[in-house]
Amino acid sequence: MSQPSPAPLAAAQSEVAELLSDLIRIDTTNTGDTATSAGERAAAEWVAGKLDEVGISSVIHESEATRASLVARIEGTNRDRPALLVHGHLDVVPADPTEWSVHPFSGEERDGYVWGRGAVDMKDMDAMTLALVRDWARTGVQPDRDIVLAFVADEEAGGRKGAHFMVDEHPDLFEGCTEAISEVGGFSITVRDDLRLYLVQTAEKGIAWMRLTAQGRPGHGSFVHDDNAVTRLAEAVTRIGSARLPTVLTPPMRQFLDAVSDAYGIDIDPDEPEQALARLGSISRMIGAALRNTANPTMLEAGYKANVIPGSAAATIDGRFLYGQEEAFDRQLAELIGKGVQREWIVRDQAVQTTFDGPLVDLMVEALKAEDDGARPVPFTMSGGTDAKSFETLGMRCFGFSPLRLPADLDFASLFHGIDERIAVDSLHFGIRVLDRFLRQA
């Protein structure tokens, strides 16, 4: 049987859904351009107020007007130990209210869920962290080591105005931090009633967002043209979008596949692992993307009139590469782009990887198993990116550990940047209990 939680945590569990709803109602839409983004200042000030209510001081820094990040430090009892960073981002991707069942910035609570943009990416972790440290402050709990809290801007556009800015301009705020936890890890996949895999992120792919531009001879749309920029670009975009780059099994993925093989009692072909991953349901899309480097066309721009052949055409590509695969990825893309198309980087950031071992990992495993006796924690590589890319440059081991026991029938992967994003209130309560066990000793 699962052991009871070491503290009642009644206040934290009673307020976490309300905190999340309030935070969702603060529109922090990040379009990638400050001029059209809502900005994170209001959310940072709201977090500062919630911390100040219980006597936790914080500082706010802006990289640009309204692009605000907040940092606070909770002192531990053991001053000889290095600090642990708990970081989350305040910004969210845009949402179209006409596509949703509820308004995406309503923070509505119904059917046992909190609904709204950011409910899983990642204002849920922000709210759980806030609820927990507020409960600690009220009840006099002090962790063993210093816990540094960071609520940052701009993660959804690569973090240049958030975590990267804070690391470059205010590294002193993270002094002594050797390890960090954040989003997209610690969530469950139900195998059967008595077994759930909990995916702890130990690696994430690098980012290579690029703009492709093709030049050609402009002219009348009725003429025959053999130097058409749109055609040249379209051919490159088609090659990229249709390509299936080679499978590369990194150490975290091998460990994950071994766990899936054991949990489901199946043999996995290392050359064709997707067939086995399909057993995981919708989450297999996220996991499967970490089997190889990927590149997907996302935006096109060309022309200004139906009967005019333009002199240039441009496309945006979302490229992601595995740890240790950056040079191979560059070669793969160069071959696909071909001649006559220029490439420039929009955002380029490194892949991150650490090992699934050590005292911190042991405590993650213990905390999950204490709250769910059917838990089996396993490492995995995330296909996207997080602010770990910034904090890793300060020498920290970075993990995705935002613990959630999810309803077995929830299509969790589709909620990231998706319509009707929501999180179960019971999952938030579970997360607080796990984080409490973990952070007290971590």
pLDDT score recorded for residue 203? 96
Q: What is the pLDDT of residue 3?
A: 55
Q: For every one of its 442 residues, what pLDDT tens digit does the chain have, with 9 covering 90 and above?
A: 455 444 569 999 999 999 999 999 999 999 999 999 999 999 999 999 999 999 999 999 999 999 999 999 999 999 899 999 999 999 999 999 999 999 999 999 999 999 999 999 999 999 999 999 999 999 999 999 999 999 999 999 999 999 999 999 999 999 999 999 999 899 999 999 999 999 999 999 999 999 999 999 998 888 888 889 999 999 999 999 999 999 999 999 999 999 989 998 988 888 888 878 888 877 788 888 899 999 999 999 999 999 999 999 999 999 999 999 999 999 999 999 999 999 999 999 999 999 999 999 999 999 999 999 999 999 999 988 899 999 999 999 999 999 999 999 999 989 999 999 999 999 999 999 999 999 999 8
What distance in Å separates the CA atoms of residue 74 and residue 142, rounded to the nearest whole number? 8
What is the model's pLDDT at position 1?
43
Let me know how many helices (H) and strands (E) the chain has, helices first.
12, 19
Return the pLDDT at 282: 75
- Looking at residue 404, the DSSP 8-state letter turns out to be B
CB atoms within 10 A of CB 116: 28
Q: Find the angle CA(182)-CA(388)-CA(21) to the nearest 5 degrees.
A: 35
Domains of the chain, with CATH numbers? Answer: 10-203+353-441 (3.40.630.10), 206-349 (3.30.70.360)
3-state secondary structure of 148: strand
Dmax (CA) for the chain in angstroms is 79
Q: Are 411 and 193 in contact (CB under 8 A)?
A: no
Q: 359-371 and 425-441 are packed helices; what angle lies between their axes, rounded to 10 degrees?
A: 140
Contact indicator for 345, 209 with CB cutoff of 8 Å:
yes
